[in-house]
Structure 1
Amino acid sequence: MQIAMIENATRIIGKSQGYLGLPLRDEMIVCSVNGEGTPAMVTAWQPTPDELERLNAGASVHLRILGVAHPPVMVEVGPTPTE
């Protein structure tokens, strides 16, 4: 997956730590566990042509978390791009 610029990005994280830099959008969501006003960070990713081919053939999306503790996460498909 390739890092994409998320719509209405509010900051870029990780660059000072040696990573490529990840644009994200801070937002508040309604969470079924934590309730209304739960802070969240949203990033955007674009599959490479090879990854898209594999996804269309039924491959799953894998989420890799660095470290030993797993924070709550959500994975979804973003809106269709408009040109």
Structure 2
Amino acid sequence: MQPLRISNATRVLAETQNEYYALAIRDEEIGGVNTMTSVWEPAPREMADLANGGAVRLTIIGTGHPPVMLTTQPAPEGE
């Protein structure tokens, strides 16, 4: 998956770290909890995997698992 530029991004993580993708995020508050939201686009192979009953996999670096949330969003209008 490739990170996309999220609308109304509030900052970009790893912008100057060449070994990582720059990740545009939007800082938000959801139900009184601070969150950081990013948008990702599946590659064609990943879209095929999902269409054929595959699943989304989340990998956390390290040994502690932070709270996470995976959702979907509709395609931008006009596409």
Normalization by structure 1: what TM-score? 0.85
* Aligned mates of 2:40, 2:65 — CA distance in 1: 20
- SS of corresponding position for 1:39: strand
Taking only aligned residues, the RMSD between alpha carbons, in angstroms, comes to 1.1
Code of the residue aligned with 1:9 in structure 2: it is: A
Q: Is 1:8 paired with 2:8?
A: yes
Pair 1:49 & 2:44 matched: yes
Q: CA deviation at 1:16?
A: 3.1
Structure 1 gaps of 5+ residues are: 31-36
The ranges of structure 1 where at least 4 consecutive aligned residues each deviate by more than 6 angstroms after the TM superposition are none
Q: What is the CA-CA distance between 1:20 and the residue it aligns to?
A: 1.7
Where 1:51 maps in the other structure, the secondary structure is helix
**Which stretches in structure 2 are left out of the alignment for 5+ residues?**
none
TM-score (norm 2): 0.89
How many percent identity over aligned positions? 43
For 2:38, the aligned partner's letter is T
Count of matched residue pairs: 77
Q: Aligned equivalents of 2:15 and 2:65: distance in 1?
A: 22
